[in-house]
Each structure stands twice: as C-alpha cells, then as structure tokens.
Structure 1
Amino acid sequence: MNTLLNIIWLVLAGLWMAIGYFLAGIVCCILIITIPFGIAAFRIGAYALWPFGRSVVRDPGAGVASAIGNVIWLIVAGIWLALGHIVTGVLLCLTIIGIPLGLANFKLVPVSLLPLGARIVDTRMVAGNAYVAMPQTRR
C-alpha cells in the first residue's frame, strides 16, 4: 500500500515539493557557510519525494547549534516550504482520493519548518513516540 501511495504522491505533490527542497539545498550549498542547511534540505527533499513508510523523529540531544540553525532556516526557507506544503495539502484534501496525500503534506510541515535535529527513519523503527534503533549485527 505504501508503494501505491508513494507513486500517486510522486505524481501529484512529491515531485514539485522535492524540487523546492533541492533548489533550496543547491542555494545553501553554494553559500559555503550554509552547507549544513543544504544537506538538511536534500535529506528532506528525498523524504518529500517518497514519504509513505517513513517517519520523522526528533533528536533530543541535537543541541543549541541546531536550535540556532533552525531559527535561521525558518526565516530563510522554512516558511516558504511550509506554505507550499499547506497549500498543496489543502488542495489535495478537496478530493476523497487526495485526503491521505493532503495529510502527508501536513505531516511534512513541522520538518520543513525546523529540519535540523530531525531524523528520517523507517516507520517500522518507530514504536509509539519512541525511536527504536535496530540492533547492529557483526559479520
């Protein structure tokens, strides 16, 4: 089911939102001091391209640098990307078939506003509100 929703998402909303994130990432990487923002934009752009089956968890130990970076991101790009998600989500919710896609857009709003200190993980690794790390196997 996730694959079907991701394909529909890609056509109706994902491609356009991912392009917005990738453009923001390119601009941030051109300005050398904002490369961490560019990396975050690319990571979220990949998530916006194929969101079903993945989830965002916050890293509680992200630190002050992430908080300061999130404020800068919010002013420079976060508001515009969040508005894109909100407008797209409202338009998708106008049809019954688009409601799950609209809800996925609304799910992306918090991470588009504050991307630093957020991790994108497989939904199977999230138990309730806690992130469950997969045990590493030794070979």
Structure 2
Amino acid sequence: MKTLLNIIWLLFGGLWLALGYFAAGIICCLLVITIPWGLASFRIAAYALWPFGRTVVDRSGSTGLFVLLGNVIWLLVAGIWIAVGHVVTAAAMAVTIIGIPLAIANLKLIPVSLMPLGKQIVPSNTSFVTGYQKGPR
C-alpha cells in the first residue's frame, strides 16, 4: 500500500516538490556559508520524493547551540513560507478522497521544513534507538 501511495504522491506533486527542495539545496551549497541548509534541503527532497513508510526523528548528538541558531535562521528566512505552502497544498489535496492521504503526507513535511537541522529520515518500521524492526517480521 505504501508503494501505491508513493507512486500516486510522485505523480500528483511529489516530484515537483522534491525538485524544488533539490534546487534550493544546490543554491545553498553554492554559497559556502549555507551548506548546512543545502544538505538539509537534500534530505527533505529525498523525503518529499518518497514520504510514505518513512518518518523524521531527531538526530542523536546534534542538539547544540549552532543547530538551534541555524534552525531559527531557517525558520525566519524560509521555514514559515514553506510551511504555509505545505498547508495550502494539503488543503487543496484534501478536497478529494484519494487526496486525503496525500494531504496528510504533505502535513508530515511541515516539521522538517520548519526546523530541518538536527533531523534524520528513517524507515517508519524501524526503531531509531535500537535499530530493530517493530512488529511481526
């Protein structure tokens, strides 16, 4: 089911969303001082390309002053506008029944688009702390 939802997501906006994040990553990496935001944009692009079956967790060991400062700068410069775009797009997707899961996936992108530094994207069936799979194998 995740694969089917990911294919539908890819066709109805996920590709363009991922390309936008990828382009932002390239621009940020060209400007040397913004490389951390560029790498975060690449992570978000990969997540935006194939969101079902994956989740965002805090990266262990990355809770410093620079991560906080970088996230605040990102939030003020781009994060709020990206989050508003995700909310508007999710509202448009939620109009149809088939679009409701896509709208939920779009809303799942908001936390990582608001505060991207110090985050990691992992499969949702894996426990990040232990590395073991949850549920039946």
- TM-score after normalising by structure 1: 0.88
Q: Which runs of 5+ in 2 are unaligned?
A: 133-137
Match of 2:75 in 1: 74
In structure 2, the residue matched to 1:39 is 39
Deviant stretches of 4+, over 4 Å: none
In structure 2, distance between residues paired with 1:47 and 1:29: 19
* 1:96 match: 97
Structure-2 residue corresponding to 1:87: 88
Count residues in correspondence: 131
Give the Cα–Cα distance (whole angstroms) in 2 for the partners of residues 113 and 28 of structure 1: 16
- Percent identity for Structure 1 against Structure 2: 62
* Whole-Å separation in 1 of the counterparts to 2:30 and 2:59: 27
Instruction: Please list every run of 5 or more consecutive structure 1 residues that lacks an aligned counterpart in the other structure.
Output: none
**C-alpha distance in 2, partners of 1:71/1:96?**
36
Looking at structure 2, the residues matched to 19 and 81 of structure 1 have their Cα atoms a distance apart, in angstroms, of 14
Q: Give the drift of 1:134.
A: 2.2
Q: Distance in 2 between matches of 1:50 and 1:132?
A: 23
When the two structures are superposed, what TM-score results if normalisation uses the length of structure 2? 0.89
Q: Which residue type is aligned with residue 18 of structure 2? A: A
* Aligned Cα root-mean-square deviation (Å): 1.4
SS in structure 2 of the partner of residue 121 of structure 1: strand
| Matched-pair contact (CA < 8 Å) for 1:59–1:119 | yes
SS at match of 2:85: helix
Letter in 2 for 1:79: I
Counterparts of 2:26 and 2:80, CA distance in 1:
18
